[in-house]
Amino acid sequence: MLEEIKKLRSKIDADLQAISSAEEAEAFRLKHLVRKGTIATLFERMREVANEEKRLVGKELNQLRAFAQSGFDEAQIKTEQKSKEPIQDPTLPPRKLYHGHEHPIMQAKARIQEIFIRMGFTVATGPDIEDDYHNFEALNFSPDHPARDMQDTFFVKHGDRDDLVLRTHTSPVQIRLMKSQKPPIRAIMPGRVYRNEAITARALAEFYQVEGLYVDKGVTMAQLKGTLFEFARAYYGKDIKFRFRPSFFPFTEPSAEMDITCFLCDGKGCRVCKYSGWLEILGCGMVHPNVLRNCDIDPEVYSGYAFGMGIERTQMLAIGLDDIRLFYENDVRFLSQF
């Protein structure tokens, strides 16, 4: 019997050394310390022990049980502490932090603003919900102009007013500026505009424009061209060439559209420029005398130029993107590239 106690003791000792987790400690307890465990089994065999040895064997067994119990208690404390400690490997690379950033359209807007601010323009804004007067009438749109049509304009009902619209362009801000300030006026007007159009790869129903306006004595078309060329060189790159094509807007006369050479193919012709070598980037012109008059500015004394561009479109061309909808799908795989 004493021999068996000795054997079990060295077995228990080895088992205790091997404990390295809470699960292993529990397995130890179930093997040795419970009512059907190894120690209890030996206690039950006390009956077989000769009377004169009972004292000695009982003492040895009690010592063995105390040894196993205290070893187990110690192991339990150790493994618990271990599981509370975070895994600390100072050589691991840090976890990658994902920073948010500005939306590519807001980045483009900031860049456009910065270029014009450098040239002496201020930044003005106006309301998204406009009235027919500021959005159309004061801008010299005739009463039957197709842009007022249900096809293009979102009308807004509010109380008994039936003349409210979601602005279809940023040009009404021109009117608000010219009515509230005396020339010289030199401002750009960024903002969101709305058109009742089917959403396609090239058109959205909501998008951003930047308008520009300069009114003073002796403002000329040559100044308009110079300013826009400077802008285009700063935005698209120094090597571009430009051309003006005659166009029509009710609020400018003469009116033009500005093209730049396609910087993706250097004017040779590619998918983005539809093999023409040219990209249309904005509309512009000299402020129509009727518009100046509507704002109590004498067209005999003052003249002005205006221009307007879509930010999404400007940005599409700058990066050679062929689907405008990507800007608003909130796909991080797309957005994180900016």
Sole binder of ligand PHE in the list 109, 169, 176, 313 (CB under 6 A): 169
Which 3 state secondary structure label does DSSP give 284?
Answer: strand
Nearer to ligand PHE (CB atom), residue 252 or residue 261: 252
- Shortest distance in whole angstroms from residue 252 CB to ligand PHE: 5
**Near ligand PHE by CB under 6 A: residue from 42, 306, 321, 324:** 306
Name the nearest CA neighbour of 184 among 159, 218, 228: 218
Sequence-separated (6 or more) residues with CB below 8 Å from residue 3: none
Burial bucket for residue 257 (CB in 10 Å: 0-12, 13-18, 19+): middle
Smaller CB distance to ligand PHE: residue 28 or 116?
116
Query: Minimum Å distance from CB 156 to ligand PHE?
Result: 19
Question: In this structure, what are the phi and psi dihedrals at residue 161, rounded to the nearest 5 degrees?
Answer: -90, 130
Q: According to CB under 6 A, which residues from 308 to 337 bind ligand PHE?
A: 308
User: Which one among 210, 285, 313, 318 touches ligand PHE, defined by CB under 6 A?
Assistant: 285
- Among positions 140, 153, 171, 303, the unique one binding ligand PHE when judged by CB under 6 A: 171
Cβ distance to ligand PHE smaller for residue 68 or 292: 292
**Count of residues of this chain found to bind ligand PHE when the rule CB under 6 A is applied:** 11
Q: How far is the CB of 162 from ligand PHE (least distance, A)?
A: 23
How many Cβ atoms from other residues are within 10 Å of residue 74's Cβ? 13
Residue 168 or 261: the one with the smaller Cβ distance to ligand PHE is: 168
Closest C-alpha to 15, from 67, 59, 82, 85: 67
The pairing of beta strand 122-123 with beta strand 185-194:
parallel
Q: By C-beta, is 210 or 273 nearer to ligand PHE?
A: 210
Site for ligand PHE in 236-275 (CB under 6 A): 249, 252
Long-range contact pairs involving 259-266 (C-beta distance under 8 Å, separation at least 24): 260/232, 260/236, 263/236, 263/237, 263/239, 264/320
By the 8 A CB rule, do 189 and 174 touch? yes
Interface residue list for ligand PHE (CB under 6 A)? 169, 171, 211, 249, 252, 283-285, 306-308
